């Protein structure tokens, strides 16, 4: 079988185990992912990125371990990490199903319920390769407006990806965030970047999560992110979650609020129509729920 010498050598140095074969894994636009077969029979995946932002892979490894400790949604074992790469156990993908969706919804509720010390995290992190400010603040509303929304608004305006009118609409929504943020809840243990591409429907009968931007936040944020770009059997995931950990009344009206951050991340990184979508979400909050 093929063996990519440089990648294999890097993995061997980190793991202390010989690599039998390597296979490129498609789909990564941020990092290069390579599947490894090790001499001890294990499968693994190594993620690399030339001149990776400082701490990128270490924050990811910390997030995987922290989420895994919750005893809810499983995360792949971290086999090795360094400044330039991360090696995790390989999860053989399978097919989504209603049964797995129910299992995932209930497990996600368990992960969230494990909680976090505060809204935020000890260290700043990344979402993709975009910096993710995590300095804690006392309330979720303060944290979300100051650490998740407004930094990306300013950066997107600076890049010309967000107009001043769009920015003004989003800023107006953040000034009124307390009027539509819903009942106060304690910090949940969040994945933080829970779109469908970071959910692995395992062949062995479990649903796993990868590539976290983990922090303490509002549990509705992960659910809104799942809905933003679509997920298999989403309705069953949400139903199972709500059965395990009932969501506060009006949570569907708050989806636009929780989608503001990922929309702004995409605005910053990719431009295009994402700025208009973010401003539209903010305007819908200002307008209030339709009757």
Q: What is the 8-class DSSP label of residue 49?
A: -
Helices (H) and strands (E) in the chain, counts: 10, 11
**What is the C-alpha separation between 145 and 142, in angstroms, rounded?**
5
**What is the C-alpha separation between 251 and 181, in angstroms, rounded?**
9
Partners of 46 in the β-ladder: 34, 87
Residue corresponding to tokens 């505060």: 118
Question: Known catalytic residue: 82?
Answer: no
C-beta separation of 22 from 4 below 8 A: yes
Exactly one of 84, 158, 193, 253 is catalytic; name it.
193
Residue corresponding to tokens 């769009």: 166
Residue corresponding to tokens 């339709």: 290
Question: CA-CA-CA-CA torsion for 135, 228, 191, 152, nearest 10 degrees?
Answer: -20
Partners of 32 in the β-ladder: 48
**CA nearest 187: which of 119, 113, 135, 107?**
119
C-beta separation of 264 from 152 below 8 A: yes
Just list the catalytic residues.
193
């Amino acid at each position: 079988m093929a063996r990519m010498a440089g990648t294999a050598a890097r993995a061997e140095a980190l793991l202390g185990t010989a690599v039998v074969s390597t296979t490129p894994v498609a789909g990564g636009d941020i990092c290069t992912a390579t599947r490894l077969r090790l001499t001890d029979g294990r499968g693994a995946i190594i993620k690399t990125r030339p001149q990776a932002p400082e701490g990128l892979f270490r924050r990811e490894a910390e997030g995987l371990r922290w989420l895994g400790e919750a005893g809810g949604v499983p995360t792949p074992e971290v086999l090795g990490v360094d400044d330039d790469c991360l090696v995790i156990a390989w999860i053989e993908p399978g097919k989504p199903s209603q049964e797995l969706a129910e299992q995932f919804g209930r497990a996600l509720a368990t992960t969230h319920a494990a909680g976090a010390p505060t809204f935020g995290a000890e260290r700043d992190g990344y979402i993709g390769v975009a910096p993710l400010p995590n300095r804690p603040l006392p309330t979720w509303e303060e944290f979300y407006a100051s650490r998740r929304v407004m930094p990306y608004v300013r950066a997107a305006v600076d890049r010309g990806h967000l107009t001043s009118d769009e920015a003004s609409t989003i800023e107006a929504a953040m000034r009124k965030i307390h009027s539509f943020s819903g009942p106060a809840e304690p910090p949940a243990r969040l994945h933080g970047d829970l779109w469908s591409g970071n959910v692995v429907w395992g062949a062995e009968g479990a649903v796993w999560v990868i590539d976290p931007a983990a922090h303490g936040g509002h549990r509705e944020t992960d659910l809104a992110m799942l809905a933003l770009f679509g997920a298999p059997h989403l309705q069953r995931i949400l139903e199972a979650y709500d059965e395990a950990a009932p969501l506060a009344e009006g949570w569907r009206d708050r989806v636009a609020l929780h989608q503001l951050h990922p929309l702004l991340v995409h605005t910053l990184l990719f431009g295009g129509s994402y700025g208009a979508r973010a401003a539209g979400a903010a305007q819908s909050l200002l307008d209030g729920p339709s009757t």
